[in-house]
Amino acid sequence: MDNYDYFLAIAETGNISRAAEKLYVSQPSLSKYLRRLENELGIELFDRSSYPLKLTEAGELYRSYVREEILRGKNLRRSFANLKAPDRGEVRVGLTPWRSASLLPEILSVFWRAWPNIRVSLEEGPHQHLASLIEHDRVDFALTHLPNQYQGFTCTHEFLMTDAAVFAVSRSNPILAALPDEKGISHISEEQFTLFQNEPFVMFQESQNIYEMLYSFLENAGVLPGVRLVTPNIHTAMNFVRQNQGVGFATTSYAEACRDENLRFFFVDSEPMKWDVVATYKKSRPLSSQARLLVDCIRAYCLEKFGGRARA
């Protein structure tokens, strides 16, 4: 058993006796281990005056170091296993919840037909969380947007497609009677958009990339929305819009993927609200062969599904 486990068990239980029971070792041997560790480091890791034992500031630093070392070891063993069997292994992907729910099932059904023995592990969250996952080597790559302000480290970005914001309205909304009834994503003028200025809006959270873009657009259009609901989840937002509980915004990839007959989607004729969708990973940690296969599969899917939209 790695000595790191000894230290973490003491930190978790706050008691050497309970830690020894958990580890199936004797209390004297565990106490001896801790004394030797602190002597080697030249500093106390636990405050013996408290009960249960509490980590000192040095102990907190050491715990962070230990967790990173354990993760580095796991990543190394994973990399070795992937190298030995390139048609097997594991890929860890970070992405937003809506892409995970809407796009990935179809992508993975294609991927697994070709590579059935490669396991895919998903980590979901907003973009600032995805940046943290990349930074701390907890995913092989993440699907992110450019531009964004969340990455403070050097990354490689592989372009997948351009996405854009679209205005979403329930087909039961009576204001639509003043607009042409068309299929697909239609275009409306800014003047037509202002017809909806008194409708309640369903908006995204301030922590999301799209937030500032949308509010800048609304301000330029002279629309100060009355916000009924704030949510980080595009599915939740569109469910409320579908029930005509408000109007809101989605993305072109969402609109094209869901093809919901109960919703109308519009481009508003103004400066396009768009961004690049990219596969992002650390420049210092190139993709494994398994991750490369998945990135290439996602790129091929985007090319086929969304008509090969390039940077505009």
All residue ranges of the chain with pLDDT < 50 are 1, 310-312
Report the distance separating Cα 199 and Cα 275, nearest Å.
27
Q: What is the pLDDT of residues 245-288, one digit of tens each?
A: 999 999 998 888 877 889 999 999 877 788 899 999 988 888 99
Tokens read off for 7: 């230290």
What lies within 8 Å, CB to CB, of 237 at 6+ separation is 168, 202, 203, 204, 229, 231, 248, 249, 250
Q: Which two tokens stand for residue 221?
A: 């259009």
**Closest Cα partner for 291 from 146, 151, 163, 143?**
143
Q: Whole-angstrom distance between the N-terminal and C-terminal Cα of the chain? A: 55
Q: What is the pLDDT of residue 67?
A: 86
Asked if residues 78 and 90 have their Cβ atoms less than 8 Å apart, the reply is yes
Dihedral, 56, 57, 58, 61 alpha carbons, nearest 10: 120
The C-alpha atoms of residue 80 and residue 225 are separated, in whole angstroms, by: 54
Q: Which residues of 239-256 are buried (b: 16+ CB within 10 A; e: fewer)?
A: ebbbebebbbbbbbbbbb
Q: Give the C-alpha separation, 64 to 58, whole Å.
A: 10
**For 186-198, what is each residue's pLDDT tens digit?**
999 999 999 999 9
In degrees and rounded to multiples of 5, residue 215 shows phi and psi of: -70, -30
Check residue 310 and give its pLDDT.
47
Closest CA to 89 of 78, 104, 98: 78
- Encoded tokens for 102: 């809407």
Q: What was the pLDDT predicted at 62? A: 92
Q: To 10 degrees, what angle do helices 289-305 and 104-114 make?
A: 120
**pLDDT at residue 311 in the model:** 44
Per the document, the length of the chain is 312
146: how many CB neighbours lie within 10 A of its CB? 15
CA 222-224-230 angle, 5° bins: 140
Cα–Cα dist 232/206, whole Å: 9
